[in-house]
Amino acid sequence: KNQVEQSPQSLIILEGKNCTLQCNYTVSPFSNLRWYKQDTGRGPVSLTIMTFSENTKSNGRYTATLDADTKQSSLHITASQLSDSASYICVVSFNNNDMRFGAGTRLTVKP
């Protein structure tokens, strides 16, 4: 079954600290993997997208990694800011048009 699991479900960190969010998937055949940020009351906004041949992609303080062999991805946030408080969603595409969304990790950054 094509599934995407994210961990942890929620995370609280202090402003300025780093954190890493995890995504494991069983989707096959794999097309690409994306990370989205979703602020409360808003739609998801794309952070990164990686294809099978890419194992890292950065967007400012956000760095995503992909290990297609173990079917794992991580999103690393450096020097967190209060505005990083949001849900982070991992999305895996397969069969060109099908996508599976993880349930998300709720990140809270405290001053």
Partner 1 sequence: DAGITQSPRHKVTETGTPVTLRCHQTENHRYMYWYRQDPGHGLRLIHYSYGVKDTDKGEVSDGYSVSRSKTEDFLLTLESATSSQTSVYFCAISESAGGAGYTFGSGTRLTVV
Smallest distance from the beta carbon of 39 to partner 1, in angstroms?
A: 10
Looking at the Cβ atoms of 63 and 93, the one nearer to partner 1 is 93
Name which of 30, 84, 75 is nearest 56 in CA terms.
75
DSSP conformational letter for 42: S
Looking at the Cβ atoms of 63 and 102, the one nearer to partner 1 is 102
Smallest distance from the beta carbon of 43 to partner 1, in angstroms?
A: 3
Tell me the CB-side half-sphere exposure of residue 61, using CA atoms within 13 A: 13
Looking at the Cβ atoms of 20 and 46, the one nearer to partner 1 is 46
User: Is the separation of the CB atoms in 63 and 57 below 8 Å?
Assistant: yes
What are the residues whose beta carbons fall under 8 Å from the beta carbon of 101, sequence distance 6 or more? 4, 89, 90, 91
Chain contacts with partner 1 (rule: CB under 8 A): 4, 31-32, 34, 41-46, 49, 89, 91, 93, 96-104
Smallest distance from the beta carbon of 44 to partner 1, in angstroms?
A: 5
Smallest distance from the beta carbon of 42 to partner 1, in angstroms?
A: 6
Dist. CA 39–CA 49, nearest whole Å:
19
